[in-house]
Amino acid sequence: MGYEAMYRRSVEQPEEFWGEMARAIDWHEPPKKILEYDNPPFRRWFAGGTTNLCHNAVDRHLDARGDQLALVGWSSETGTVRELTYRQLHREVNTFAAVLRSLGVGKGDRVVIYMPHTVDAAVAMLACARIGAIHSVVFGGFAAHNLAVRIDDAKPRVLVCADAGMRGGKVIPFKPLVDEALDRARHPPANVLVVSRGLAPVPVRAGRDVDYATLRRDHEDAEVPVTWLESNEPSYILYTSGTTGKPKGVQRDVGGYAVALALSMWSVYDIRPGQVMFSTSDIGWVVGHSYNVYGPLIAGATSIMYEGLPTSPDPGIWWKICERYGVRTMFSSPTAIRVLKKHDVDFIRRHDLSGLEYLFLAGEPLDEPTAQWIHEALGKPVIDNYWQTETGWPVLCLLPGLEMKQVKFGSPGLPNLGFRLRVIDETTGHDARAGEKGVLVIEPPLPPGCMTTVWGDDQRFLSSYFGHFKELLYSSLDWAIRDEDGYTFILGRTDDVINVAGHRLGTREIEESVASHPAVAEAAVVGVHDEVKGQVPVVFATLKQADVPPPEVACGMIRTVTEQLGPVARPARVYVVGALPKTRSGKLLRRSLQALAEHRDPGDLSTLDDPRALEEVQRALERGADAGG
């Protein structure tokens, strides 16, 4: 069956289609109903069925491929490689699950995981899934404030952390950040489970902190039975930036997620059992969840986890790994390729990449020059795909495992199976014609794999995603254009979330951090185009006192953001101005600020309260940043 026929079936006969797709995973009890949709937009896929992500990712492969590699952890930071077969992974997961149970963790309890991109982090995730606990992985580059906010929302029973991570050869101690976060948190966990890598001293809080290696010795031979969960029970929470500054906890189910990943592994990424997938994403992001851990393992494939820079020890490191393990499908980001583009193409071509079939890129818009460069360097198809933390798997893509369609550089492709997509005129709510700009939306019910709600806040789920049009539609909050052939081109965000090297950051959260600096009166943060990172945060701020040296305060703002939110949110430039442009009703003209910073037309300024504020900004841009740059 070709793409068109299968796609039509997926959207016109969804219950029949997804009922068939559900056979790809193991069910302890089969679903009683494929779709329950009596409370739109909330839906329940595979209702009444019971299953388990860990069982589908690990246990069910033991007989057929127990001695096949399951996970490979390659760290150019520590100079180590760790390989686990499915049988060895099963042993590690059982031990970790037993340790969690000894700390009182059970079904429905939350476990926050704050670790670098290592096999141990994947084992911790799978151990939670095994016992029915809900994991929430927090990106290891986030600072204590970010961690504390997520702890207070998830209210975990246990927090699992590493002693340290590494970046560019520099050790980054994690435990002091955890201690600071828990001092700030209103709902700290009862225990902190420390997985030490021997990289940094571990300050211990008696009665709370527990060493994993010590507990492990007591549970090395433990056999922990799988906890079977109803398909719609939560599997994990993954926080994504919101426009209010408060992150949203994207809640994922169990059965729908497993079925969607099983389908996508062969249809989108063309991976079958025994083949090798290498995703360069961090485990703290949705790609890390879906295509470093759960997706490849559910498919019975081998997954490569890489810790380090793409240029260290040299810019050929990724391709060396591809050669060593016979990687078939690689998944990375446009930013990473733009970094590699600065180096000699021979770092790629010196490696035998005959086993590599595809390079997939996602996480941010893919520009044509970058796509063309890496396509010519590899001599392989370079395939864009578009999705969100909220969707859990691709929304727009090509499906080479089903039928390889034409690649159009600049477009992530066609609607994925099960996604009923439209491009809507923001003003009228009508469908935009081919070539007309609109907002990309999904007609509910959302297909399996997508978020089920915002953790603990159904109303925020409704208002954030379904409250933008008169018709009940999921808004991606992304501008898009669709061409005559049905290919969609993503143009950027409609809200105040920016994409920095694939990391989704809320500008309001950065603004709140900047405004906490004692010398700052008011601040506006916008995302500005960057050749390598896609976008970077740029700050425009006014000061409480005119006699304070702007460069000194600007540097202080950068320090404040880095300390509170982490290096990923560090402003690229700070401009101190006398006034910020606002409408007569007091609304900050952020889009005009962004346009000026990108040397574009600031647009309609008829509502501007004081034209001198815009002139101030223009002068600041001309003289150069007070910090950064």
What secondary structure does DSSP assign to 271-302, as a single string? --TT-EEEE-S-TTSHHHIIIIIIHHHHTT-E
Q: Is 268 part of a structural domain of the chain?
A: no
- Rounded to an integer, the average pLDDT of 72-80 is 97
Q: Lowest mean pLDDT of 182-196, 388-402, 490-504, 534-548, name the range.
A: 490-504
Strands 276-279 and 248-252, sheet pairing: unpaired
Rg (CA), the chain: 24
Q: Is 467 part of a structural domain of the chain?
A: no
Q: What is the tally of helices (H) and strands (E) in the chain?
A: 21, 33
Structure token digits, residue 413 = 């492709």
- Rounded to an integer, the average pLDDT of 105-120 is 97
Q: At what angle do helices 507-515 and 550-565 cross, to 10 degrees?
A: 120
**Single-letter residue type at 517:** H
Structure token digits, residue 519 = 């010398």
Q: Is 164 part of a structural domain of the chain?
A: yes
| pLDDT in the model for residue 582 | 78
| pLDDT in the model for residue 242 | 62
Q: DSSP for 8-52?
A: HHHHHSHHHHHHHHGGGS--SB--SEEEEEEETTEEEEEET-EE-
**Dist CA 263 CA 559 (whole Å):** 45
| pLDDT in the model for residue 587 | 64
| pLDDT in the model for residue 165 | 94
**Dist CA 584 CA 603 (whole Å):** 16
Q: What is the mean pLDDT of the chain?
A: 93
Q: Is 76 part of a structural domain of the chain?
A: no
**Tens of pLDDT along 30-66?**
999 999 999 999 999 999 999 999 999 999 999 999 9
Give CA separation, 25 vs 19, 261, 269, 281, in Å: 11, 10, 18, 25
Q: Is 330 part of a structural domain of the chain?
A: no
Phi, psi of 353 (to 5 degrees): -110, 30
- pLDDT of 605 over the 70 cut: no
Bigger pLDDT: 412 or 364?
412
- pLDDT of 585 over the 60 cut: no
Cα angle 317, 323, 327; round to 5: 100
The region that residue 34 occupies, defined by phi over 0 for left and psi between -120 and 50 for alpha, beta otherwise, is alpha
**Tens of pLDDT along 229-287?**
999 999 999 998 765 567 899 999 999 999 999 999 999 999 999 999 999 999 999 99
**Dist CA 433 CA 619 (whole Å):** 40
Which of 261, 296, 324 finishes a domain?
261
Q: Are 127 and 120 in contact (CB under 8 A)?
A: no
Residue/partner pairs of 541-545 with CB below 8 Å, 24 or more apart:
541/514, 541/574, 541/575, 541/576, 541/577, 542/576, 542/577, 542/578, 542/579, 542/580, 543/519, 543/576, 544/518, 544/519, 544/520, 545/519
Q: Are 589 and 581 in contact (CB under 8 A)?
A: yes
Q: Is 52 part of a structural domain of the chain?
A: yes
CATH of residue 535's domain is: 3.30.300.30
**Tens of pLDDT along 288-340?**
999 999 999 999 999 999 999 999 999 999 999 999 999 999 999 888 898 89
Which of 243, 261, 279 finishes a domain?
261
Alpha-helical regions (H) of 344-488: 346-349, 368-378, 458-465
Q: Is 252 part of a structural domain of the chain?
A: yes
Residue 179's nearest CA partner among 201, 199, 197 is 201
Q: Are 194 and 161 in contact (CB under 8 A)?
A: yes
Which of 206, 240, 261 finishes a domain?
261
Give the structural domain span for 51.
20-67+87-261
Local structure of 180: helix, strand or coil: helix
pLDDT band at 140 (very low <50, low <70, confident <90, very high): confident
Phi, psi of 158 (to 5 degrees): -135, 145
**Dist CA 520 CA 544 (whole Å):** 6
**Dist CA 25 CA 448 (whole Å):** 13
- pLDDT of 604 over the 80 cut: no
**Dist CA 595 CA 526 (whole Å):** 10
Q: Is 432 part of a structural domain of the chain?
A: no
| pLDDT in the model for residue 189 | 98
**Dist CA 450 CA 128 (whole Å):** 20
**Single-letter residue type at 308:** G
Number of domains in the chain: 2
- pLDDT of 586 over the 70 cut: no
- Rounded to an integer, the average pLDDT of 340-366 is 92
| pLDDT in the model for residue 610 | 74
- Rounded to an integer, the average pLDDT of 173-182 is 96
CATH of residue 107's domain is: 3.40.50.12780
